[in-house]
């Protein structure tokens, strides 16, 4: 006989872990107990040593689908002669280091029951079990127990209670457990919040969608706006009602086979689509797809997800090839998640609302992923991934990092883990800013952390910076934007050694007060040095230049030629007067900060090629340039590398000249765009080789929003790897500002107290 005490940390609460252990102990005829505690789960088992060894192996290999084991420590203790195995109730206050699980798609077992006409939950849209269902979005506090979720509104019926209490049931301690007798229910309402009385709200909703109506549908982390994706008029009408919004709409289709009818799905994409997180995955459109024109204009990709709630499965049963399921908001507003608010804000967009009475406590947008260079890459890390922890190189002080201003997320560290929040959005919007503060408070309370420090961007006017300095009440640390991007990439890989950071993005406040964004750094998790950058270029109108790419085209043309050459087609729709005024502003330096931004160079080239003079969302022009580019170009345009004050400066004026001439001579835009991408990749490798010669570093980290560009990233990887560099790219954490808070948190947590 032997007795072992086993302590397991990770996501092991609220995921069916204790009943799993119970059944495993029965299988190996072991006696003892299992309970939740401050760190995770503690097990005491005694029995035959061989059985004990097999038991421990089976914990690792057979763990429940949602469980994440971060560590498992087993020690031998004195035999107590126990008989039987029991699940010991957890006591309040004992859950401190435990982790809340993310929201997860409905599992196979529940799906079976959902479509089994003999099951008591047949067609019940809120079916779930310990292996699936809502978690993070319904948690109001800790410990994770039904009274501290929004399921507190629904007392369990006797049948559900029996399942809840039965350790052999798949619903043992499943906090969101519910059935048609005791659980949440659907309702169809009109734009004024008035109930539309029908026998079956679901089939009426389907009928209306079939009819071309726009429906707001309450989901897991917020509302979606849905229309039949095959109905051109309905999609067009949705665009019209969403006002000027040109962002691509996401699609939802029943299963992989259906997706393959309109998009190209590789093995990696299929894995992402079918993962428990169920993100939106960017997939190349099929040439002959029959989806409506306006779903993803000027884009080679559709954003597609598979159903993730039972309600989605019911909606998609037989009627639709796919539904548009776009987050329910007007541009820049946060996604609607409360019923009254949804009716108010979406009343002019949706014809009807399919709602239910399970409250969403934490608004959480859909995550967005793609496959890049044969690896998954998260472009937005939100529902399904949050609040899963990211491992840090070691124990650190607890830090709150408040992120950037656009694509904001926040990050909290606890012990050797970082917790990056769900996507919050653009803080300039007041409602988003409120949501930002709620997110910080909620994360603090469910993680039970009191941060010692707050980390923020160097930009003095970001709302997040102002919050850190004026409202957080904590000692503050400023972290330079591009250093934070670099640290975020290093931290994701657990790399502590210094690397060459190639950090390209739209805009970040520089240490010299200029706007940076085409940066070559040398740095690690605690410090950095700037070793190279793009030539400083006037950015007429400041922030306005990010919305109006023609301004950067004008700036580059003036620098190249001193004036605008005749016949340039970069300025369609821009009046001569505007051109003259902005031209003068550039010469006199009025409201014209200097920038080394790579994103702004993309803007200028997109405008020069006549793709776009103005944009309706951040990065739109750059995205269009990538989409139109011929990916197999392998000829570089000329450029210059200057050496100024010990730094390497990339001067793209020869490139602008060559592109302008190519454009005049009628070379296809696709070829020019392809060569532009190739040139940047060649330039990156040349600069990294120079830095390696001087400093002996051969590790490169690519970060910043520009590296969402698949073509540029893959070309750059090829150039760098050909030259013998080891290259780190993002995967779990977005390269854009959505990953910035992680870098800020890591840098600040390593500062000497």
Residues forming the site for Fe ion (CB under 5 A): 505, 508, 737
Give me the least distance between CB of 503 and Zn ion, in Å please. 42
Partner interacting with residue 276 (select from Fe ion, Zn ion, none; CB below 5-8 Å by kind): none
Give the nearer residue to Fe ion in terms of CB position, either 40 or 517: 517
Strand partners, 454: 400, 476
Give the nearer residue to Zn ion in terms of CB position, either 129 or 404: 129
Give me the least distance between CB of 182 and Zn ion, in Å please. 3
Partner interacting with residue 157 (select from Fe ion, Zn ion, none; CB below 5-8 Å by kind): Zn ion
Give me the least distance between CB of 148 and Zn ion, in Å please. 20
Give me the least distance between CB of 4 and Zn ion, in Å please. 31
Q: Whose CB is nearest to Fe ion?
A: 505
Give the nearer residue to Fe ion in terms of CB position, either 294 or 464: 464
Give the nearer residue to Fe ion in terms of CB position, either 401 or 449: 401
Give the nearer residue to Zn ion in terms of CB position, either 149 or 744: 149
Give me the least distance between CB of 471 and Zn ion, in Å please. 41
- Count of residues in the chain: 753
Closest CA to 35 of 1, 8, 70: 8
Give me the least distance between CB of 406 and Fe ion, in Å please. 8
Cβ(72)–Cβ(60) below 8 Å: yes
Give the separation between CA 404 and CA 473, rounded to whole angstroms: 19
Give me the least distance between CB of 15 and Zn ion, in Å please. 11
Give me the least distance between CB of 332 and Zn ion, in Å please. 36
Give the separation between CA 608 and CA 618, rounded to whole angstroms: 18
Q: What radius of gyration, in Å, describes the C-alpha atoms of the chain?
A: 27
Give me the least distance between CB of 485 and Fe ion, in Å please. 6
Give the separation between CA 558 and CA 582, rounded to whole angstroms: 11
Give the nearer residue to Zn ion in terms of CB position, either 128 or 382: 128
Partner interacting with residue 568 (select from Fe ion, Zn ion, none; CB below 5-8 Å by kind): none
Give the nearer residue to Fe ion in terms of CB position, either 426 or 505: 505
Partner interacting with residue 182 (select from Fe ion, Zn ion, none; CB below 5-8 Å by kind): Zn ion
Give the nearer residue to Fe ion in terms of CB position, either 16 or 705: 705
Give me the least distance between CB of 387 and Zn ion, in Å please. 20
Q: What is the 3-state secondary structure (H, E, C) of 270-291?
A: HHHHHCCCCCEEEEEECCCCCC
Give me the least distance between CB of 703 and Fe ion, in Å please. 8
User: Is the Cα dihedral 111, 115, 121, 123 positive or negative?
Assistant: positive
Give the nearer residue to Fe ion in terms of CB position, either 366 or 505: 505
Partner interacting with residue 179 (select from Fe ion, Zn ion, none; CB below 5-8 Å by kind): Zn ion
Cβ(409)–Cβ(424) below 8 Å: yes
Give the nearer residue to Zn ion in terms of CB position, either 120 or 240: 120
DSSP letters spanning 434-477 = HHHHHHHHHHHHHHT---SEEEEES-TT-HHHHIIIIIS-S-EE
| 103's tokens | 């929201």
Partner interacting with residue 160 (select from Zn ion, Fe ion, none; CB below 5-8 Å by kind): Zn ion
Binding region for Zn ion (CB under 5 A)? 107, 110, 129, 131-132, 157, 160, 179, 181-182
SS3 of residue 696 by DSSP: coil
Partner interacting with residue 103 (select from Fe ion, Zn ion, none; CB below 5-8 Å by kind): none
Cβ(384)–Cβ(486) below 8 Å: no
Partner interacting with residue 737 (select from Zn ion, Fe ion, none; CB below 5-8 Å by kind): Fe ion
Give the nearer residue to Fe ion in terms of CB position, either 143 or 517: 517
Work out the number of other CB atoms within 10 angstroms of the CB of residue 566. Answer: 6
Closest CA to 546 of 480, 485, 602: 602
Give me the least distance between CB of 352 and Fe ion, in Å please. 40
* Burial classification of residue 47, based on how many CB atoms lie within 10 Å of its CB (0-12 exposed, 13-18 middle, 19 or more buried): buried
Angle at 267 between CA 266 and CA 273, to 5 degrees: 85
Give me the least distance between CB of 489 and Fe ion, in Å please. 12
**What is the strand order of the sheet 417-420 is part of?**
390-391, 417-420, 411-414, 399-401, 453-457, 476-479
Give the separation between CA 487 and CA 498, rounded to whole angstroms: 10
Partner interacting with residue 741 (select from Fe ion, Zn ion, none; CB below 5-8 Å by kind): none
Q: What is the 3-state secondary structure (H, E, C) of 531-567?
A: EEEECCEECCCCCHHHHCCHHHHHHHHHHHHCCCCCC
CA–CA distances in Å: residue 551 to residues 564, 590, 723: 12, 14, 36
Which residues, in sequence order, are CB contacts of 425 under 8 Å at separation 6+?
A: 332, 334, 407, 408, 432, 435
Give the nearer residue to Zn ion in terms of CB position, either 308 or 385: 308
Partner interacting with residue 277 (select from Zn ion, Fe ion, none; CB below 5-8 Å by kind): none
Partner interacting with residue 259 (select from Fe ion, Zn ion, none; CB below 5-8 Å by kind): none
Exposed e or buried b for every residue in 426-445, given b needs 16+ CB within 10 A?
A: bbebeebbebbeebbebbbe
Partner interacting with residue 717 (select from Zn ion, Fe ion, none; CB below 5-8 Å by kind): none
Closest CA to 415 of 400, 427, 398: 398
Give the nearer residue to Fe ion in terms of CB position, either 603 or 737: 737
Partner interacting with residue 505 (select from Fe ion, Zn ion, none; CB below 5-8 Å by kind): Fe ion
């Amino acid at each position: 006989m032997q007795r072992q005490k086993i302590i397991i940390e990770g996501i092991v609460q609220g995921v069916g872990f204790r009943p799993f252990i119970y059944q495993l102990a029965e299988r190996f005829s072991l006696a003892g107990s299992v309970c939740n505690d401050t760190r995770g789960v503690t097990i005491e088992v005694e029995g035959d040593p061989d059985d004990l060894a097999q038991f421990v192996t089976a914990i690792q290999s057979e763990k429940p689908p949602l469980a994440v084991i971060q560590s498992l420590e087993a020690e031998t203790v004195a035999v107590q002669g126990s008989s039987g195995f029991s699940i010991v109730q957890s006591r309040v206050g004992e859950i401190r280091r435990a982790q809340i699980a993310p929201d997860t798609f409905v599992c196979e077992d529940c799906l079976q029951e959902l479509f089994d006409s003999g099951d008591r939950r047949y067609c019940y849209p809120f079916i779930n079990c310990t292996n699936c269902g809502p978690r993070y979005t319904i948690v109001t506090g800790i410990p994770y127990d039904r009274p501290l979720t929004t399921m507190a509104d629904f007392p369990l019926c006797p049948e559900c209670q029996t399942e809840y209490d039965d350790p052999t049931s798949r619903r043992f301690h499943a906090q969101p457990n519910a059935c048609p007798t005791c659980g949440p229910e659907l309702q169809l309402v009109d734009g004024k919040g008035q109930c539309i009385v029908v026998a079956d709200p679901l089939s009426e909703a389907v009928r209306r969608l079939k009819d071309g109506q726009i429906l707001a549908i309450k989901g897991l982390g917020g509302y979606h706006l849905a229309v039949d994706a095959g109905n051109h008029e309905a999609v067009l009408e949705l665009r019209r009602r969403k006002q000027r919004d040109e962002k691509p709409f996401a699609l939802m289709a029943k299963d992989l086979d259906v997706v393959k009818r309109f998009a190209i799905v590789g093995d990696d994409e299929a894995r992402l689509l079918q993962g428990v997180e169920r993100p939106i995955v960017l997939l190349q459109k099929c040439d002959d797809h029959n989806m409506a024109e306006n779903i993803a204009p000027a884009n080679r990709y559709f954003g597609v997800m598979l159903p993730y709630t039972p309600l989605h499965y019911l909606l998609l049963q037989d009627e639709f090839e796919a539904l548009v399921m776009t987050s329910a908001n007007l541009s820049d507003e946060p996604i609607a998640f409360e019923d009254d608010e949804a009716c108010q804000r979406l009343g002019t967009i949706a014809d009807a609302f399919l709602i239910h009475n399970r409250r969403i406590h934490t608004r959480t947008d859909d995550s967005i992923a793609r496959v890049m260079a044969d690896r998954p890459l998260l472009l937005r890390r939100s529902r399904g991934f949050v609040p899963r922890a990211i491992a840090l190189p070691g124990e650190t002080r607890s830090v709150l990092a408040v992120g950037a201003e656009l694509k904001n997320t926040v990050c909290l560290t606890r012990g050797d883990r970082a917790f990056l929040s769900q996507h919050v959005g653009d803080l300039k919007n007041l409602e988003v800013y409120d949501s930002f503060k709620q997110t910080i408070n909620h994360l603090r309370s469910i993680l039970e952390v009191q941060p010692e420090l707050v980390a923020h961007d160097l930009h003095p006017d970001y709302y997040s910076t102002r919050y850190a300095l004026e409202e957080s009440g904590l000692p503050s640390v400023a972290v330079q934007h591009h250093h934070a991007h670099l640290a975020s990439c290093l931290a994701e890989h657990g790399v502590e050694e210094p690397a060459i950071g190639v950090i390209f993005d739209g805009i970040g406040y520089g240490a010299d007060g200029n706007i940076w964004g085409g940066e070559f750094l040398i740095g690690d998790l605690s410090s950095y040095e700037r070793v190279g950058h793009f030539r400083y270029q006037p950015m007429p109108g400041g922030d306005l230049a990010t919305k109006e790419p023609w301004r950067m085209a004008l700036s580059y043309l003036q620098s190249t030629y001193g004036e605008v050459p005749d016949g340039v087609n970069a300025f369609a729709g821009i009046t001569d007067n505007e051109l003259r005024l902005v031209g003068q502003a550039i010469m006199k330096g009025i409201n014209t900060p200097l920038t080394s931004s790579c994103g702004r160079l993309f803007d200028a080239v997109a405008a020069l090629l006549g793709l776009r003079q103005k944009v309706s969302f951040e990065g739109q022009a750059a995205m269009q340039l990538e989409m139109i580019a011929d990916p197999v170009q392998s000829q570089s345009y000329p450029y210059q590398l200057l050496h100024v004050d010990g730094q390497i400066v990339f001067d793209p004026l020869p490139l602008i000249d060559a592109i302008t001439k190519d454009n005049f001579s009628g070379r296809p835009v696709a070829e020019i765009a392809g060569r532009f991408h190739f040139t940047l990749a060649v330039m990156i490798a040349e600069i990294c080789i120079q830095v390696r010669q001087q400093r002996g570093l051969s590790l490169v980290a690519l970060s910043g929003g520009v590296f969402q560009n698949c073509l540029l990233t893959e070309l750059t990887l090829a150039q760098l790897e050909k030259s013998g560099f080891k290259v780190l790219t993002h995967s779990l954490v977005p390269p854009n500002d959505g990953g910035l808070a992680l870098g800020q948190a890591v840098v600040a947590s390593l500062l000497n107290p």
